[in-house]
Structure 1
């Protein structure tokens, strides 16, 4: 996501001819978009995206269980 924002910022700076970016080649200005595509391709093919989504779901589930146990007056289990 950071590479995508960097790419958008560089395109705006190049288009508006601001600072030293105005002198850069379009290849360098557009390179963060290529790197973003490479990152997303790797993240999807390696399972990184799915793993992070599952970790987030598991954490939400554990937080919900801990909150319910606290409401019942029980101490939640500590993670090992």
Structure 2
């Protein structure tokens, strides 16, 4: 996510020609976009980072469900 924010900031700064970014080549910005594409399409999948995020979400749901079940059992 920080990479995407960096790209968005660079595009804005380059487009509006702010400070030293006015002289920055668009190829640097396009290069960062290419790096982000490679990261999200290939590297995350190779290392299983996309599955890890999904697993963490499922684990949080499971814990919430168990906690709710125990709270209902204790109220009876």
TM over 0.5: yes
Work out which structure has the larger RCO, using CA pairs closer than 8 Å and 6 or more positions apart in sequence. Answer: 1
TMscore range, shorter length = 0.7 to 0.9
**How many residue pairs are counted as aligned between the two chains?**
74
**Superposed structure 1 runs of 4+ greater than 6 Å apart:** none
What TM-score, normalized by structure 1, do the two folds share? 0.76
Gaps of 5+ in 1: 75-80
1:17 is paired with a residue whose SS is coil
Q: Does the 8 Å contact 1:3/1:35 carry over to 2?
A: no
Q: CA RMSD in A?
A: 1.8
Is the helix fraction higher in 1 or 2? 2
TM-score, normalising length: structure 2: 0.79
For structure 2, the residue ranges without an aligned partner over 5 or more in a row are none
